[in-house]
Structure 1
Amino acid sequence: MIDFLLTNFPTLLALIVTGVFAGILAGLLGVGGGIVIVPVLFFLFQSFGVSAESAMLIATATSLATIVPTSISSIRSHHRQGNVDVDLLKHWAIFILIGVLLGSWQVTRVDGTWLTVLFGVIATLSALNMLFRSGKSALFASLPGKAGQTSMGAFIGFFSSMVGIGGGTLSVPLLTLCNYPAHKAVGTAAAIGLIISLPGALTMLLLGETPADAPAATFGLINLAGFACIVPLTVLCAPLGASLAAKLNAAKLKQVFAIVLLITGLRMLMQVFM
């Protein structure tokens, strides 16, 4: 154990910093950890000699694994406040799960390059949504019918699992576009995050083939060292971010984060195409 710690000290230190960073941002801005963790791990693993393709696969799976415990904690908090829509979840859960199983299985079969492109597109669109649609009125008067909601659930599950993000990045914007209360969208997204992350992470752990150039302590496609470093620090540092939010201008900080996310998404796309 001591030899492992000494040999991999730079990697472990970088993972610890990632956990602190993700936790503070989650508390400060209310953004999901996956949208932060995936790109950080993607570039971090490459800096330690992992190929871009392998780095994206491992970052995606490891991010999903970290979302499991943090989403459980978040669900408890939102449920106490009555912000988890159980009726919506009853209808959506099976279709989200189907999307997750298809998406996470696909991750174990595709080249990591395509996941990089997909994440880059989703990150770019999320950043543009934060910059230009924050606080704007809904586009639709209500949620669509059962067929439309079924499609929404499957869409959220499939694409979220493929890029290692929880429920918030896709479900909150989609729900609020349909005139759904923002506080309930956030609370329900926490529960959606668990439906996405648990089966997705298990699929990638059990069915994923560990790349030859994977960093130490990687099993399947999940880097357990990353999981062990990131999860406790994310949980510990989220309250710090929340206390900072009370003292700082969170709206302006969210705009800064959106710009950073936009640059990150575009950089990932450029790495593939240029």
Structure 2
Amino acid sequence: MWLVLAFAVAGGLAQLVDGTLGMGFGVTSATVLLALGVAPATASAATHAAKLPTTLISGLSHWREGNIDVRILLRVALPGMVGGFLGAVVLTSISLEAAKGWMAGLLLFFGFVILLRFGFGFRLIPVPKNGERTRWLAPIGVLGGFVDATGGGGWGPVVTPSLMTVTRHEPRKVVGTVNAAEFAVAVSVSTGFVTGAAHQDIPWLPVLGLVLGGVCIAPIAARLAGRLPHAPMGTMVGGLVILVNLVTVVSLLGGLPGWLDAILIVAWLALVGRLAWRAWEKEKAGRLAVVGNPGVNA
């Protein structure tokens, strides 16, 4: 019971972040499961099993709030389903050690993507000067689906920043579209894991907790999209994802002395806390400027 409750809290927090930032549920859930010793393919399968109901409720909630562009959704979701299925098949066909290193490395990378995006405002893809670049939607979907399946998470960190740069939509509409498309990708990825028999050892109690927490928070997160402070939330999520997966990568390479681990962890948490505070101050100043000058777009 306590295990389900703990994962329900984790799932609720992860969905709050995912539903408002457009990323975080899969990366956070897979990171926790991997840190608990769950096999990589099983961790990804469990994460996507939890995503099925949470992304469905999240997508419907965003639709009710008017946060979805159906045209963009279809052009991203369908290629994403193809990439997701292929990624699931690939992950179930490689060795356990190689899969663990790959998933931890991929999650570590996306932790840095999230931290750079929200902590420093850095964009991996340059903003288009003339209109939308819709020709990029299919490749973005395929790549997002593939890394989402092989990394246990990654759909949001790949697709959300990409759509924010190749389309002209406001952030809340990008977040809603990405969340809705993620349901289709989760269905495809789960089908791929069933094909590869990665579903047999799924820890269903943690999955149940993630589902309960995620489903309860999804409608609230959809309503709060675009209203909560994005920068400090994203900075803290990125910092924690980096920390947990860096520990996994270092342990695979031989590890460090315990005392040095403790010092580095405390120093990293202090640094991330400082970055989150600075990001919040900067975002707060920007919002105040918009309130003082309504003619400026948020």
TM-score with structure 1 length normalisation? 0.76
Q: Is the counterpart of residue 76 in structure 1 residue 60 in structure 2?
A: yes
- Is the 1:138–1:179 contact (alpha carbons within 8 Å) kept by the matching residues of 2? no
Task: Output the CA distance in 2 between the equivalents of 1:237 and 1:192.
Answer: 18
Residue matched to 2:75: 91
Q: Is the counterpart of residue 230 in structure 1 residue 210 in structure 2?
A: yes
Report the CA distance shift for 1:155/1:25 in structure 2 as closer, same or farther (over 3 A): closer
Deviations 1:155-180 (A, max 9, x none): 11111121222642221111112253
Selected match of 1:38 from 23, 30, 35 = 30
Task: Output the CA distance in 2 between the equivalents of 1:268 and 1:248.
Answer: 31
Deviations 1:106-138 (A, max 9, x none): 111123222222222222322222211279996
**Residue 64 (structure 1) shift:** 0.9
The total of aligned residue pairs comes to 245
Task: Output the CA distance in 2 between the equivalents of 1:194 and 1:96.
Answer: 10
- Is the 2:61–2:219 contact (alpha carbons within 8 Å) kept by the matching residues of 1? no
- Is the 2:103–2:150 contact (alpha carbons within 8 Å) kept by the matching residues of 1? yes
**Residue 60 (structure 1) shift:** 1.2
Task: Output the CA distance in 2 between the equivalents of 1:188 and 1:152.
Answer: 14
- Is the 1:166–1:197 contact (alpha carbons within 8 Å) kept by the matching residues of 2? no
Report the CA distance shift for 1:34/1:136 in structure 2 as closer, same or farther (over 3 A): closer
**Residue 101 (structure 1) shift:** 1.3
Selected match of 2:197 from 159, 184, 208 = 208
**Residue 225 (structure 1) shift:** 2.7
- Is the 1:20–1:237 contact (alpha carbons within 8 Å) kept by the matching residues of 2? no
Selected match of 1:172 from 151, 154, 160 = 160
Alignment map for 1:4-153 (pairs within 5 Å): 13-27=2-16, 30=20, 31-44=23-36, 46=37, 55-111=39-95, 112-113=99-100, 114-133=102-121, 139-141=127-129, 142-146=131-135, 148-153=136-141
**Residue 250 (structure 1) shift:** 6.0
**Residue 73 (structure 1) shift:** 0.7
**Residue 203 (structure 1) shift:** 1.9
SS in 2 for 1:222: coil
Q: Is the counterpart of residue 156 in structure 1 residue 144 in structure 2?
A: yes
Task: Output the CA distance in 1 between the equivalents of 2:207 and 2:65.
Answer: 29
AA at the equivalent of 1:82: G
Residue matched to 1:215: none
Task: Output the CA distance in 1 between the equivalents of 2:77 and 2:210.
Answer: 27
- Is the 2:10–2:210 contact (alpha carbons within 8 Å) kept by the matching residues of 1? no
Deviations 1:74-124 (A, max 9, x none): 111111222211112233333212111111111111232222222222223
Report the CA distance shift for 1:264/1:124 in structure 2 as closer, same or farther (over 3 A): farther
AA at the equivalent of 1:125: V
- Is the 2:46–2:207 contact (alpha carbons within 8 Å) kept by the matching residues of 1? yes
* Runs (5+) with no aligned partner, structure 2: 255-298
Q: Is the counterpart of residue 259 in structure 1 residue 229 in structure 2?
A: no
- Is the 1:128–1:262 contact (alpha carbons within 8 Å) kept by the matching residues of 2? no
Task: Output the CA distance in 2 between the equivalents of 1:26 and 1:239.
Answer: 10
Report the CA distance shift for 1:191/1:250 in structure 2 as closer, same or farther (over 3 A): closer
Selected match of 1:183 from 169, 172, 178 = 172
**Residue 230 (structure 1) shift:** 2.0
**Residue 149 (structure 1) shift:** 2.4
- Is the 2:3–2:209 contact (alpha carbons within 8 Å) kept by the matching residues of 1? no
TM-score with structure 2 length normalisation? 0.70
Share of identical aligned residues, percent? 23
